[in-house]
């Protein structure tokens, strides 16, 4: 099971020790609107939780909402653990289902005695937090504001951390390429067997780059022309390539990196991360020779329905004003690529 993304920065208005109002960013679960069938399942991006929406025969509303939490065991297998959230007798407005962007809270509209209410539960622990009248919530666009939440919900809203823009674009299967990039590279260095003589320079450079102190990113140092060389590591060994050309240019709140020469090229955006002031997150695409260069499958070129084969993700560190390190496409099978950029 993939780890749910961590992020930072509390949004909300505090008065003393109590949360009187808070605003979170939510994602509508559009697939939650059903009609007709007796049984339907809805999987949202947490991947460790699914909702089973059981309808009355002939339609006419939801009979039961069951949440299946799927904890992963030590052996990597899991057995669903069902918990009924709304039982028969509750009616449910299945068009109003929202998930907070950090996947921590699920908000569901239902009706009780003819009055619309909201059920809120912790989507990670699968725990009901509150049932609230409609008057306590307001949704404008993707912003949900709650007033005077009860203590359990106030605590959950206080713990809410909005996602950085890159986190909303990242495919779950690419998460380790960013979160674990340095750990994967260091593990490879510690466990890899001695290589052939031609690998000596590459192994020495790999060790130097990973051991070099990292300084906080200075955005003003980055735009311009760079030289870049690639070091590719895998179970086959380490391969060091010669120097090629690259550019970095400002694009709004991001920077665009483009490797412009050599047979293997990359194009993508560098995003600031609230979690790491000493790193930028790279989301882009890789190409070969004269293939058309594309960005990451979720980004400037559109929002694809599935990841592209050429998707590339990684982390950029600044080692000096004129020297950068990127760790790209790292996976726990021991394969990754380093870029050393100099000028």
Contact 42/29 with Cβ under 8 angstroms?
A: yes
Regarding whether 188 and 219 lie in a shared domain, the answer is yes
Q: pLDDT tens digits for the chain (343 residues)?
A: 222 222 222 222 222 223 456 888 887 765 443 332 223 344 433 334 445 544 444 443 444 455 544 444 445 444 545 444 544 444 455 457 787 887 778 787 777 777 788 888 776 666 778 888 989 998 888 889 999 889 989 888 888 888 888 988 888 899 999 999 999 999 998 877 666 666 888 889 999 999 999 999 999 999 999 999 999 999 888 999 999 999 999 999 899 999 999 999 999 999 999 888 899 999 999 999 888 999 999 988 888 889 999 999 999 999 999 999 999 999 988 899 999 999 9
CATH number for 90: 2.40.128
Q: What are phi and psi of 145, to 5 degrees?
A: -115, 130
In a domain, 28, yes or no: yes
Long-range contacts of 206-209 (CB under 8 A, 24+ apart): 206/231, 206/233, 206/238, 206/338, 209/319, 209/325, 209/338, 209/340
Q: Are 127 and 237 in contact (CB under 8 A)?
A: no
Rama region for 106: left / alpha / beta (φ>0; ψ in -120 to 50; rest): beta
Give a yes or no: residue 247 inside a domain.
Answer: yes
Q: Which of these three, 163, 192, 216, is where a domain ends? A: 163
Both 124 and 229 in one domain: the answer is: no
Residue bearing tokens 């594309």: 294
- Assess whether 145 and 209 both reside in one domain: no
Residues written for the chain: 343
Cβ 298 vs Cβ 312: under 8 Å? no
Residue 203 shares a structural domain with residue 256: yes
Q: Tokens representing 77?
A: 């297998």
85 lies in the same domain as 44? yes
Q: How many domains does the chain have?
A: 2
Alpha helix (H) residue ranges in the chain:
151-159, 165-169, 175-179, 181-191, 200-211
Interatomic CA distance for residues 66 and 299, integer angstroms? 34
202 and 153, same domain (yes or no): no
Do 320 and 204 lie in one domain? The reply is yes
- Clarify whether residues 23 and 110 are in a common domain: yes
152 plus 181 within the same structural domain: no
3-state percent helix, strand, coil for the chain, nearest multiple of 5: 15, 45, 35
- Cα 231 to Cα 189: distance, rounded to the nearest angstrom: 13
Determine the structural domain holding residue 276 and report its residue range.
168-342
């Amino acid at each position: 099971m993939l780890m749910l993304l961590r992020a930072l920065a509390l949004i909300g208005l505090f008065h003393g020790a109590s949360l009187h109002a808070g605003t979170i960013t939510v994602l509508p679960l559009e697939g939650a609107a059903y009609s007709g069938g007796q049984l339907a399942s809805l999987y949202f991006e947490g991947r460790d939780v699914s909702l089973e929406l059981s309808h009355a025969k002939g339609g006419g509303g939801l009979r039961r909402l069951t949440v299946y939490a799927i904890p992963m065991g030590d052996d990597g297998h899991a057995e669903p653990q069902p918990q009924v959230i709304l039982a028969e007798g509750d009616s449910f407005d299945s068009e109003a289902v929202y998930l907070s962007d950090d996947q921590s809270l699920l908000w569901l509209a239902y009706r009780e005695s003819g009055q619309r209410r909201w059920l809120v539960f912790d989507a990670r622990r699968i725990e009901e937090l509150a049932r609230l009248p409609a008057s306590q919530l307001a949704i404008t666009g993707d912003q949900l504001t709650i007033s005077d939440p009860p203590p359990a919900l106030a605590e959950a809203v206080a713990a809410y951390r909005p996602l950085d823009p890159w986190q909303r674009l990242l495919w779950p299967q690419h998460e380790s390429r960013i979160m674990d990039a340095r750990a994967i590279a260091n593990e490879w260095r510690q466990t890899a067997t001695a290589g052939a003589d031609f690998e000596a320079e590459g192994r020495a450079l790999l060790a130097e780059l990973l051991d070099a102190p990292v300084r906080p990113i200075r955005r003003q140092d980055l735009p311009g022309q760079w030289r870049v060389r690639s070091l590719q590591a895998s179970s086959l060994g380490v391969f060091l390539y010669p120097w090629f050309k690259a550019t970095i240019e400002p694009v709004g709140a991001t920077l665009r990196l483009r490797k412009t020469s050599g047979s293997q090229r990359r194009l993508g955006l560098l995003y600031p991360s609230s979690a790491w002031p000493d790193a930028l997150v790279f989301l882009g695409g890789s190409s070969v020779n004269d293939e058309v260069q594309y960005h990451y499958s979720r980004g400037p070129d559109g929002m694809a329905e599935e990841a592209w084969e050429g998707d590339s993700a990684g982390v950029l560190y600044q080692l000096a004003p004129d020297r950068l390190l990127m760790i790209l496409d790292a996976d726990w099978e021991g394969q990754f690529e380093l870029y050393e950029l100099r000028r």
